[in-house]
Amino acid sequence: MSPETKPDYLISPEGLRVDGRRPDELRPVELKVGVLKQADGSASIRQGKTYIIAGVYGPRELHPRHLALNDKAYLRVVYRMATFSVPDRKKPAPSRREKEISMVIANALSPALFLEEFPRAVIDVFIQVIQADGGTRCASINAASLALADAGIPMRSLVPAVAVGKADGVIIVDLGDEEDKYGQGDVPIAILPPTDEITLLQQDGFFTRDELLEAIQMGIGSCKYLHELQKDALKRAYVRKTPDGEPVEEDEFEDDLETDLGEADMPEEDE
Ligand code: CDP
């Protein structure tokens, strides 16, 4: 792979970004629920070229036991990048960055969970970055919260997340790798709908007060859109299907159930 060079501009004279997006436009997002056979819950996300899989186990008994918390479950998040996920081979040993991002993701997700319902247990969230092209901590949060829901873990809400930033003085959402590297700032945000409380807010780079407020507004708007995509992905995974793969309307489902059972097969009611 040829080494990446700094583009001449990140915002064109027409106001478009290096990949042709408008400042407030997300990359194409594809969310899938239930992608792993072995985990209790799982999900994947493709956001542009960023590709991540999350698997959840638990709540289950925690080993080693001395890590157990008496009043709530321990949310153990492990964020890892595959060796082939970045242009320079990533060393397989866990890096400081991976440990920090694991903690940041756990902090962003935990307000959505009723951890106090499972004292002394652990909920394991394993996140594997298959391909990194910017925004991996936020994409991880999007996938991990879907995987938690898929595992049937009680939640207040899904947690949508996106990075907002600044390039050539313009506030932009969902930074790609070049924008992350050569832009002027990066503000990852995660929210808890419907109140839109903020569970993650970090800032890299310099923003005026007005720019930061604009960035947060833009980020919350995009998170709301991502939340709709998350709900759609869950519905797709759980909707009842006809044999030819069409979704079954709830009323149709009840009718089919009665037809399938048939009057004659119904058990006699006790006199
Ligand atoms: O991924 P995110 O923006 O949340 O975190 P970051 O630490 O700001 O990293 C930005 C991007 O740098 C990642 O998404 C990767 O594309 C890239 N990166 C890399 O190429 N090699 C690494 N060892 C770490 C990150």
> What secondary structure does DSSP assign to 103-155, as a single string?
HHHHHHHGGGB-GGGSTTEEEEEEEEEEE-SS-HHHHHHHHHHHHHHHTT--B
204 in helix, strand or coil? Answer: strand
Burial of 71 (0-12, 13-18, 19+ CB in 10 A): exposed
Give the DSSP letter string of 68-93. Answer: --SSS-EEEEEEEE-TTSSSSPPPSS
How many angstroms separate the alpha carbon of residue 258 from the centre of ligand 1? 54
pLDDT tier at 242, thresholds 50, 70, 90:
low
pLDDT tier at 239, thresholds 50, 70, 90:
confident
Ligand 1 closest atom vs CA 186:
8
What residue ranges define each of the domains in the chain, with the CATH number in brackets?
29-240 (3.30.230.70)
Residue 141 in contact with residue 109, Cβ under 8 Å?
yes
Instruction: Over range 28-57, report the average pLDDT.
Output: 97
Instruction: Over range 230-246, report the average pLDDT.
Output: 83
Say what the pTM is. 0.89
Q: CA 111 to CA 160: how far, in whole Å?
A: 13
pLDDT tier at 244, thresholds 50, 70, 90:
confident
Residue 233 in contact with residue 41, Cβ under 8 Å?
no
How many angstroms separate the alpha carbon of residue 214 from the centre of ligand 1? 24
Decide if pLDDT at 1 tops 50: no
How many angstroms separate the alpha carbon of residue 155 from the centre of ligand 1? 29
Tens digits of per-residue pLDDT, 52-70? 999 999 999 998 899 999 9
Ligand 1 closest atom vs CA 140:
4
User: What percentage of the chain exceeds 90 in pLDDT?
Assistant: 83
Residue whose CB lies within 8 A of the most ligand 1 atoms, among 177, 184, 189, for a mutation test: 177
Q: CA 180 to CA 174: how far, in whole Å?
A: 9
Decide if pLDDT at 270 tops 70: no
pLDDT score at 5: 79
pLDDT score at 271: 43
Name residues contacting ligand 1 (CB within 6 A).
Answer: 86-87, 90, 97, 132-137, 163, 177, 180, 186
Q: CA 171 to CA 105: how far, in whole Å?
A: 24
